[in-house]
Amino acid sequence: MPLQLELQHVPAVQPGNRTPILLLHGAFAGAWCWQQVQQDLATAGWESYALSLRGHGQSEGTLMLASATLNDYLADVEQALGQIGQPCILIGHSLGGYLAQQIAERQIVAGLALIASIPPYGLSGSLSYMSALHPNLLMGLQSFALGHTSKPESALLQHLLFAKNTPMSMVDDFAQHAQLESMTALSELWMPQWWKNLPRFPKFPVLVLGAGDDSIIPFSDVQITAQAWSVTPIMLAEAGHAMMCDRTQPQLSTALLGWLAKI
């Protein structure tokens, strides 16, 4: 029996015939992280849905989260798309970006926006990057991921995920919502799958957005993702990894809406 999944629906302020948008969150997060982006989309005339993967947010499956696989998460996305009932524009952040890329190769989508996304080949480059440049942040993240702490420290998240000078109130809010992630799914991404970097020539629009102040996804991985989808990446120079929740969120919405206006 399918799990009950949280799917936060925000209709457009002025309803029209535009393609709906499905937003996919990253690791340790949930549909809640898209709240302001959904409001900005609605104001601009776009209907959107934000999914919480199993065991995240208000979705069922918390007790099974530790064993959730990438295929389980992909099944969740497919379930959400089935519920919406038509091809969507997929917007995915980090882990959600990886899932969005996999879905785009499985079924028809109307567009694909990848935000600070895990590249097609996985997380091995990110781990090397963090080990070399941010070892303390990596250790703190691993401690939280392994359940050694029930909630991540705001100071850790500030350096790990957020743009410089982001108000601590925004960091604290993220920390209060952040939750454990499936180590099973993350471990699948640690095994490099370089063949997945082969160029694609999609028949739908693709946007690749990178964060200039990202402590998790290096610029090289942003380039690899863009090359895999045959586009040129756009960098938000001041943005942190969790750009939908930091002080640069208006810049993210502006970039997304500018791209959507051309579809």
Domains of the chain: 7-260 (3.40.50.1820)
**What's the Cα-to-Cα distance from 117 to each of 25, 84, 94, 150, rounded to whole Å?**
10, 24, 4, 26
Q: What is the pLDDT of residue 130?
A: 84
Q: Which two tokens stand for residue 236?
A: 């938000």
Q: What is the pLDDT of residue 49?
A: 98
Q: Rounded CA gap, 218 and 222, in Å? A: 7
For the whole prediction, is pTM greater than 0.85?
yes
pLDDT reading at 23 higher than 90: yes
Q: Which two tokens stand for residue 33?
A: 């992280």
What's the chain's average pLDDT? 93
Q: What is the pLDDT of residue 146?
A: 62
pLDDT reading at 157 higher than 90: no
Give residue 134's pLDDT band: very low, low, confident or very high (50, 70, 90). confident
Q: Rounded CA gap, 238 and 145, in Å? A: 26
Average pLDDT over residues 207-226: 97
Give residue 105's pLDDT band: very low, low, confident or very high (50, 70, 90). very high
Q: Under a CB-based contact definition with an 8 Å cutoff, are residues 176 and 151 in contact?
A: yes
Q: Which two tokens stand for residue 59?
A: 């979705």
Among 242, 253, 234, which Cα is nearest to 38's?
253
Q: Rounded CA gap, 168 and 161, in Å? A: 12
Place of tokens 């208000």: 58
pLDDT in tens, 42-73: 999 999 999 999 999 999 999 999 999 999 99
Under DSSP, the state recorded for 27 is T
Q: Which long-range contacts (CB under 8 A, 24 or more apart) does 157-161 make?
A: 159/134, 159/215, 160/134, 160/215, 160/216, 160/241, 161/215, 161/216, 161/240, 161/241, 161/242, 161/245, 161/246
Q: What is the pLDDT of residue 148?
A: 56
